Amino acid sequence: MVKVTIYTTRTCPFCHRAKYLLDKKKAVYEEIDVGNDPARRQEMIQRSGRNTVPQIFINDFHVGGCDELYELDLESKLDPLLDQPA
């Protein structure tokens, strides 16, 4: 089963958009709220090299943020990523 991880904060509209698309695709994901957790935010920055949310990973592939997730979907590249085994 594919492993999807999304680093978010509660008030981020891009996080909500990204989760909407993942929900629409029926993807099961682990959401990590970095809003009040400096250690998890640091983990996100180390993994992604970015300090903005959302940061999305499919297995160990760093998708990027919301825009990149939607771009993959428009290019018909998201479904194959979500269908690959972990």
Domain count for the chain: 1
Please write the tens of the pLDDT for every residue from 31-76. Answer: 999 999 999 999 999 999 999 999 999 999 999 999 999 999 999 9
pLDDT band at 1 (very low <50, low <70, confident <90, very high): confident
Whole-number pLDDT of residue 80:
96
CATH number at residue 59: 3.40.30.10
User: DSSP character for 20?
Assistant: H
Instruction: Supply 1's token pair.
Output: 């089963």
Q: What is the spatial order of strands in the sheet that 29-33 belongs to?
A: 29-33, 4-8, 55-58, 61-64
Whole-number pLDDT of residue 85:
76
Domain span at 69: 4-83
